[in-house]
Amino acid sequence: MSGFDYESLLDRARDRIPKDISERARWTMPEPEILLEGNQTILRNFSSIVDSMDRDANHVYQFLINELGTSGTQESTRILLKGRVPPKRIKEKIVAYVKTFILCGQCKAPDTRFIKEDRTYLLKCQACGATRPVRL
Ligand SMILES: [Zn+2]
């Protein structure tokens, strides 16, 4: 399998931030392990991916299910998706999640948190302090 989109995404992101920040925020995400089995698709290391993201597993799961237009089952460490979903599509959606809900809009650091202001959720960067609205 050829190069994986989010690795280049993260490499590019690291290029743009000062070295001390990028080293503090050094972030490696495991390569998704995807199996097609019968009429279902298994993302075997879902929990490791979510752990590396420091995000709520249900939020990531719902995003993937909605974006992929399928249904599924969440187990302790893996998720099962109905139907045969091409691994490339799953990876694209994981990248989309990272871009939407993790990377800072300003400095692209992955070191961000959700905060609530009035009724709006914001993604706040721990590296540069920038915020942007997110729809949770
Ligand atoms: Zn930032």
Separation of 72 CA from ligand 1 center, angstroms?
34
Long-range CB pairs of 47-50, under 8 A, 24+ apart, other chains included: 47/76, 47/77, 47/78, 48/77, 49/94
Amino acid at 2: S
Helices 57-68 and 46-53, packing angle to 10 deg: 120
Greater confidence (107 vs 8) lies with 107
Say what the pLDDT of residue 17 is.
46
State how far the Cα of 57 lies from the Cα of 69, in Å rounded to an integer.
18
Structural domains present in the chain: 5-104 (3.30.70.3150)
pLDDT digits (tens, 9 = 90+) for 59-79: 999 999 999 999 999 999 999
pLDDT grade, residue 52 (50/70/90)? confident
CA of 130 to the centre of ligand 1 (A): 5
Q: What is the pLDDT of residue 11?
A: 59
Cα(13) to centroid of ligand 1, in Å? 11
Do 75 and 120 contact (CB within 8 A), yes or no? no
Give the neighbor-by-neighbor strand order of the sheet with 72-74.
34-37, 40-43, 79-82, 72-74
What local confidence, expressed as pLDDT, does residue 21 receive?
Answer: 47
Report CA(83)–ligand 1 centroid distance (Å): 38
Residue 132 Cα to ligand 1 midpoint, Å, equals 10
Q: What pLDDT does 113 receive? A: 93
